[in-house]
Amino acid sequence: MTRIENTFKRLQAEGKRAFVAYVMAGDPDYDTSLELVRGMPAAGVDVIELGLPFTDPMADGPAIQLAASRALDAGMTLRRTLDLARAFRQGDDTTPIVLMGYYNPIYSMGVETFLREAKSAGIDGLIVVDLPPEEDDELCLPARDAGLDFIRLATPTTDDRRLPKVLENSSGFLYYVSITGITGAAAASAADVAPEVARIKRSTDLPVCVGFGIRTAQSAREIAGVADGAVVGSAIVAELAAGKSVAEVLDFVRGLAEGAHTA
């Protein structure tokens, strides 16, 4: 059983929803990023999404685009991102890490090399937003064979005809994008999300976590209340970009986690 599966089973037994937090690897620099990631489990984060910096993050809004630029300017690469995960694992062998990003850096490294290095670094799952299910032979199936979960995105436009294809080789959890558009573009609405999550859960036993548009503890509580978990990224990245210290960002994360956990 993977760390991701163990985490969701534990939370289910405790009657809690999951809190998933995204941070861009290397933003604003390697050391600060590692300090932030290391502090996340104690702040209540159940699953860490580690963003892979890329020059053309097409699904992301300004906050994460700028975070990627800062990380790249600071010398962050795919290999250094895996080094960061490896450093985190020296002190935490429990909290799942999901690497989230785009296929180009992985393709450039080579799929076989990447999967070997990712597994060695302690990565548990992948979210690769620009690889559709029709390309599962490219990375999804090799990742599954290597013991990594491949987490797929579903959106408000994923209708009942498309959903089975999205779910076909997904594992770990399903990430439901609460809005149409880029990250950080609009606020998520629990009233809109609830029927969509219920529809998806009729077709899968995977946990369904909801992200995009969650910025406050109250919003995290409301969204987690209609799903298996809430995902927050842009709001956390924005705190860091505003010049907040790691301790201040972790206080903000703690509030979001408490919101999700009390749903």
CATH of the domain at 142: 3.20.20.70
Per-residue pLDDT, 119: 98
223 token code pair: 């969204």
Q: Is residue 73 part of a domain?
A: yes
CA distance 235 to 181: 16
Q: Is residue 209 part of a domain?
A: no
Q: Is residue 200 part of a domain?
A: no
Range of the domain at 75: 3-150+224-257
Tell me how far CA of residue 154 lies from CA of 196, 200, 223, 229, in angstroms.
10, 9, 16, 15
Lowest-pLDDT range, 110-124, 180-194, 240-254? 180-194
The pTM of this model reads: 0.95
Peptide bond into 96 cis (omega under 30): no
Q: Is residue 210 part of a domain?
A: no
Q: Is residue 241 part of a domain?
A: yes
Q: Is residue 75 part of a domain?
A: yes
Per-residue pLDDT, 186: 55
Number of separate domains in the chain = 1
Please give the helix or strand (H or E) that residue 78 lies within, else none. helix 78-89
Active-site residue list: 49, 60
Q: What is the pLDDT of residues 57-67, one digit of tens each?
A: 887 888 999 99
Please give the helix or strand (H or E) that residue 34 lies within, else none. helix 30-39
Per-residue pLDDT, 147: 97
Q: Is residue 198 part of a domain?
A: no
pLDDT of residue 182 exceeding 70? no
Q: What is the pLDDT of residues 186-242, one digit of tens each?
A: 567 888 899 999 999 999 999 999 998 899 999 999 999 999 999 999 999 999 999
CA distance 99 to 102: 10
**Cβ proximity of 182 and 68 under 8 Å:** no
Beta strands at 18-24 and 47-51: parallel, antiparallel or unpaired:
parallel
Q: Is residue 103 part of a domain?
A: yes
